[in-house]
Structure 1
Amino acid sequence: MLPTGIHFESYAAETRVLKTLRSRIWASALALGLLCAPLFAGAYLLGVASEMFITLMAVYGLYVTVGMAGQINIAQSAFVGIGAFAAAKLSSYGQPVFVVIPLAALAAGCVSILFALPAVRVKGLYLALTTLAAQAMFPIVIYALPASWLGGLAGMPVEPLTLFGADLGTPTGFYYFTLALVALLTISAFRLQHSRFGRAMMAVRDNDIAAEVMGIPVMRVKLMAFFVGSLFAGVAGACLAYFLQFVTAASFTLFASVWYLGMLIVGGLHSRLGPILGVVFITVLQEGLHKVANTLMQAGSGSGGMLFALTSIILGGCILLALIFEPRGLAHRWAVLRNAFQIWPFPRN
């Protein structure tokens, strides 16, 4: 719902992300706040924000594959890992970051095609099992390859992040680096919905038989949905490799894939705002619980360690509550509040 008097004279204007002056002002204020954050935040908060941006990149990939195309993917962590190992290997050859990140994204996308081929013939639980096979095979392949290739059990170090001679390994430098990348991927994800490919994915998601009758190449769209979603994961993996400075297969588990999917569900599976709201909500809640647990442990209370152990259970409960009480996610609740604000003080009926 838009304010009274807003109308569009072209499809390009209607599909614009920021349709009103008010939305542009709020978006500008948010961008300004993010740019000025290092002036007020410490190294810890900048590190949390950088990790949140990396997670958001991976969840954007799930939004494309699951939210837009309707293809269940519980192997996103494996594709993030492929991007991370590709970045580690390329950085060891002295490749610059603007070469490493696109090639890491391409590596994750190409590998995803191998597992997407059987996925185009199955749906539902069988599709989930297909992607689960990708997640299970990832560490097996890494460990089976010669240690000189991808480090084997020990893992691989990653060269420090530099760009044109500037050191971006500091908390502030890495924050701005991930902020620039996540802003680029946010624009791409938001614009994708109104593209021809995005409309084709949503048609396949809603009814693949009807989409095929309309002339949409369903098999190609499903393959491309996995490929594009894994491109986002590859970028996230490369950034995570630079963030951790060391990559091992043990860092990219099924547990991480489930959390990526859970963040998307909490935020809103089919909404462009879903990945942002889900990642921010889960990250803030997790860091808040850890902060409380640390405070309790420093005070000598034994309940702090218990709270640490219960963090995953509490976060899992949030996902269950979202599925029960708000299956359309926080994005739908935000839309309801926004519409109520726009028509205030007039009644809804």
Structure 2
Amino acid sequence: MRPTGIWFESYAAEARVLETLRARLWLLALLAALVLLPAVAGPWLLGEFTNLFITLVAVYGLYVTVGMAGQINIAQSAFVGVGAFTAAKLSGMGVPIWATIPAGALAAGCISIVFALPAWRVKGFYLALTTLAAQVMFPIVILALPMSWLGGLVGMPVMPPTLFGLNLGTPTGLYFLGLFVAALATWTAFNLPRSRIGRAFRAVHDNDSAASVMGIQVTRIKIEAFFAGALYAGVAGAVLAYFLQFVTVSSFTLFTSVWYLGMLIVGGLHSPVGPILGVVFVTLLQEGLHKFANAMLQADGGLGGGTVFALSSVVLALCILIALIFEPRGLAHLWHTGMKAFRLWPFPRN
């Protein structure tokens, strides 16, 4: 529902993501604030924002695969790890950053095809088990390879990134790298549903049998959905490798994949706003619990703080469960409802 006074003279204008001038001005203000943040923020805050940007890109990949195409994927962390190890290996060979990030995305996408092939015959719970196999196999393969290849159990160092002579290995440089990648991922995620392949993803999600009757090649679309989601994961993994400066298999676990999926579910599966809200909500919750645990450690000499750290994951899981019970459509539904009410105020909605 739109307020009186907003009309469009063409389909292209009506299909815009940002329909009004006010919305575009708000977006410009947000981008300006993010660009100017390093001028007033310290290294710790810049690091937190950089990690948030990287996580957002990975969750966008799940939005494409799970939210748009309806293909369950609980191996996103493994695909992130493929991108990270690819970038680490290539950076050690002297490959520049503008080539390592696309290479990491392409490597993750190609490997995802292997585990997307069973989507031709299985779906739902059985497809989830197939992707779980990818997550389980990832550390096994890394550790089984010769140590000279990917570092084995020790891991691999990552060379500091440089771009056109500029050092991006500083907190400010990594922040702007993460901001650029997250902005590009956001732009693609918001425009993908309006594209031809995005509509095909939606059709397969709603009913793959009906989509097949309509002429959509369901098997190809399912594989492309996994490939597209893994591209996001590979980009996130490559940037994460530069951010961590050292990659090991312990950084890409099943627990991380579950949290990626939890962020998407809390934010909202069916809207590109969902990954943003879910990542911000869960990240703030995690940081709040860690701050509380640190305060407990300082207050009682570690007697209660360690327990808080141990129970932090349980508390996070309970918060996600509560969010799902009271708003199963995610925070994105609350966001859209609130924005509609704001645009129609002070007139009644009914």
Shorter-chain TM-score range: over 0.9
**SS where residue 160 of structure 2 aligns?**
coil
**Equivalent-residue separation in structure 1 for 2:311 and 2:155 (angstroms):** 29
Q: CA deviation at 1:241?
A: 0.5
Corresponding residue for residue 238 of structure 2: 238
For 1:278, the aligned partner's letter is G
Mapping of 1:119-268 within 5 angstroms?
119-268=119-268
Corresponding residue for residue 35 of structure 1: 35
Conserved in 2, the CA contact under 8 Å of 1:265 and 1:322? no
TM-score, with length taken from structure 2: 0.98
For 2:147, the aligned partner's letter is A
Q: CA deviation at 1:11?
A: 2.7
Deviations 1:248-279 (A, max 9, x none): 11111000000000000000011110000000
Two-structure CA RMSD over aligned residues (Å): 1.1
**Equivalent-residue separation in structure 2 for 1:89 and 1:3 (angstroms):** 54
Mapping of 1:1-349 within 5 angstroms?
1-300=1-300, 302-349=303-350
Conserved in 1, the CA contact under 8 Å of 2:119 and 2:219? no
Conserved in 2, the CA contact under 8 Å of 1:55 and 1:279? yes
Identity of counterpart residues, as a percentage?
70
Q: CA deviation at 1:319?
A: 1.5
Q: CA deviation at 1:121?
A: 1.3
Deviations 1:111-164 (A, max 9, x none): 000000012211110010000010011011111111111111111111111111
**Equivalent-residue separation in structure 1 for 2:312 and 2:120 (angstroms):** 37
Conserved in 2, the CA contact under 8 Å of 1:269 and 1:328? yes
Deviations 1:197-242 (A, max 9, x none): 0000000000001111010111110000000000000000001100
Q: Which runs of 5+ in 1 are unaligned?
A: none
**Equivalent-residue separation in structure 1 for 2:56 and 2:134 (angstroms):** 21
Q: CA deviation at 1:348?
A: 2.3
**Equivalent-residue separation in structure 2 for 1:40 and 1:310 (angstroms):** 34
**SS where residue 300 of structure 2 aligns?**
coil
**Equivalent-residue separation in structure 2 for 1:92 and 1:80 (angstroms):** 19
Q: CA deviation at 1:3?
A: 2.5
Q: CA deviation at 1:5?
A: 2.1
For 1:168, the aligned partner's letter is L
Q: CA deviation at 1:94?
A: 0.1
Aligned residues: 349
Q: Which runs of 5+ in 2 are unaligned?
A: none
